[in-house]
């Protein structure tokens, strides 16, 4: 899995028992293979509506190699061989994601050619999870709620799982709810705008605000914050999803211009966009979750959950909510999205639908993904 932050490829090896829901699972190894600044620049160049087709085609193969390498690394780290592994599930790298809206057809494109992964590893590879949901009328996102449901639903408390990646997204699991009652949507930017501002003010020397130190030193500019919160995405009702198309480089440029107009220091600007993430999350809960039910427990995950300034801003605005990290539930927050796609791949191989229509807006449940067969020397023998 690589998300919108472009920090690196997350690879996890899990063992799963049983079908869906699994009777048990455990994490065997996890690694994040970082993208270099050059890799990141190459990926940024692809996320442009007028991208060069030759660049797109070759990047698909190049990313396939990188994802295959990440899979082989995590397998080796667990002390296993590729022959021991039943399947690879690969989300790939999203370069374009536009849900259908107002009569306009949507589109979604993940790179990291699964045939390359299958060829290099010899392992059956499940990939391209999003298009089938979109074909069924959904947004193709978010898909992680299926895993959130398997991992966190509870008969005694209502749980919200807040991932803070490049984009921030929440899954709300009402107490005792079935999967068809799950609510989930992207709340807006997670680290994406923070990362862009840190890169700008540090002249590219840093790519994120480690532990939220810059934001902690700065002061939130209340007027600019309110202005930024007027972005139309926040007022849109779920189902909704967003990405770099809305909160990427062009948006960061606009924000930087407004910070300059208000004369903000780098730390004040970083504090203000950190507050944009925190307040947009809290207001999304008030607008779209509170009418359905309370949040007893909030579980934070993704790289942004390590940003202490952001955590403090959330805690301050959510009195009475018990806030935890994935680690408190025995799950690595950094590995969580990769675990989610491993479980989605498992569902595909079980022939079980794994989109959540109440979340994506799809007309019906569908089995997600494309399957590239294993090396025939390893394929199941039918005799
Ligand atoms: N210690 C930390 N302090 C603050 N932010 C962090 C820290 N570690 C990671 N991050 C943020 O998390 C991002 C990566 O998060 P991740 O969950 O991998 O997002 P994505 O799914 O978009 O790739 C980094 O780009 C960075 O902004
Ligand atoms: Mg990442």
Which helix (H) or strand (E) is 58 found in, with range? helix 53-77
Q: How many CA atoms lie within 13 A of 238 on its CB side?
A: 24
**pLDDT score recorded for residue 99:** 87
What is the rounded CA–CA span in Å between residue 241 and residue 133? 13
Q: What's CA 362's distance to the chain center, in Å?
A: 19
Angle between helices 114-121 and 53-77 (to 10 degrees): 40
- pLDDT tens per residue across all 383 residues of the chain: 999 989 999 999 999 999 999 999 999 999 999 999 999 999 999 988 789 999 999 999 999 999 999 999 999 999 999 999 999 999 999 999 988 887 888 999 999 999 999 999 999 999 999 999 999 999 999 999 999 999 999 999 999 999 999 999 999 999 999 999 999 999 999 999 999 999 999 999 999 999 999 999 999 999 999 999 999 999 999 988 888 889 999 999 999 999 999 999 999 999 999 999 999 999 999 999 999 999 999 999 999 999 999 999 999 999 999 999 999 999 999 999 999 999 999 999 999 999 999 999 999 999 999 999 999 887 555 55
Angle between helices 145-152 and 336-350 (to 10 degrees): 100
Specify the pTM: 0.93
| Per-residue CA distances from 110 to 4, 46, 56, 100, 352 (Å) | 11, 11, 11, 17, 22
Which residues lie across from 25 on neighbouring strands?
16
Beta carbon of 165 within 6 Å of any ligand 1 atom: yes
Nearest-CA residue for ligand 1 atom 25 is 5
**What token pair was written down for 131?**
């298009």
Domains of the chain: 8-141+337-372 (3.30.420.40), 145-329 (3.30.420.40)
Beta carbon of 7 within 6 Å of any ligand 1 atom: yes
Nearest-CA residue for ligand 1 atom 24 is 303
Nearest-CA residue for ligand 1 atom 12 is 303
Q: What is the DSSP string of 312-364?
A: HHHHHH-TT-EEEEGGGGT--TTTHHHHHHHHHHHHHHHT-----HHHH--SS
**pLDDT score recorded for residue 239:** 86
Q: How many CB atoms lie within 10 A of CB 293?
A: 15
What is the Å distance from ligand 2's center to 350 Cα?
A: 27
What is the rounded CA–CA span in Å between residue 197 and residue 42? 19
Angle between helices 266-284 and 192-201 (to 10 degrees): 180
What is the Å distance from ligand 1's center to 10 Cα?
A: 12
In degrees and rounded to multiples of 5, residue 84 shows phi and psi of -80, -10
**pLDDT score recorded for residue 376:** 86
What is the rounded CA–CA span in Å between residue 332 and residue 352? 25
Return the ligand number nearest the Cα of 195. 1
**pLDDT score recorded for residue 100:** 87
**pLDDT score recorded for residue 381:** 56
């Amino acid at each position: 899995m690589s998300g919108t932050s472009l920090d690196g490829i997350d690879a996890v090896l899990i063992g799963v028992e049983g079908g869906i829901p699994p009777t048990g699972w455990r994490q065997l190894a996890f690694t994040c293979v970082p993208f270099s600044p050059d890799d990141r620049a190459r990926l940024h160049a692809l996320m442009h509506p007028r991208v060069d087709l030759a660049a797109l085609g070759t990047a698909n193969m190049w990313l396939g190699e990188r994802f295959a390498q990440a899979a082989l690394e995590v397998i080796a780290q667990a002390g296993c061989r590729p022959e021991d592994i039943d399947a690879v599930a690969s989300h790939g790298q999203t370069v374009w994601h536009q849900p259908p809206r107002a009569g306009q057809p949507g589109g979604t494109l993940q790179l990291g050619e699964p045939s390359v992964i299958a060829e290099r590893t010899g392992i059956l590879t499940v990939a391209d999870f999003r298009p089938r949901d979109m074909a069924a009328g959904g947004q193709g996102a978010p898909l992680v709620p299926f895993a959130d449901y398997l991992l966190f639903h509870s008969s005694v408390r209502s749980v919200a799982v807040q991932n803070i990646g490049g984009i921030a997204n929440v899954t709300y699991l009402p107490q005792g709810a079935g999967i068809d009652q799950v609510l989930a949507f992207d709340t807006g930017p997670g680290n994406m705008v923070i990362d862009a501002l840190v890169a700008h003010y540090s002249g590219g020397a840093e790519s994120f605000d480690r532990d939220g130190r810059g934001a902690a030193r700065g002061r939130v500019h209340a007027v600019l914050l309110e202005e930024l919160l007027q972005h139309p995405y926040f007022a849109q009702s779920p189902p909704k999803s967003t990405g770099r198309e809305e909160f990427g480089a062009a948006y960061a440029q606009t924000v930087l211009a407004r910070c300059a107009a208000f004369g903000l220091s780098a730390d004040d600007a970083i504090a203000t966009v950190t507050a944009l993430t925190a307040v947009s999350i809290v207001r999304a809960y008030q607008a779209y979750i509170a009418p359905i039910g309370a949040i007893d427990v909030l579980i934070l995950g993704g790289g942004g959950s390590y940003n202490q300034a952001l955590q403090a801003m959330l805690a301050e605005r959510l009195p009475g909510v018990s806030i935890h990290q994935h680690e408190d539930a025995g799950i690595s927050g950094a590995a969580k999205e990769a675990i989610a796609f491993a479980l989605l791949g498992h569902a595909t191989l079980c022939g079980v639908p794994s989109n959540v229509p109440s979340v994506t807006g799809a007309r019906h449940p569908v089995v997600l993904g494309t399957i590239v067969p294993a090396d025939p020397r390893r394929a199941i023998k039918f005799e």
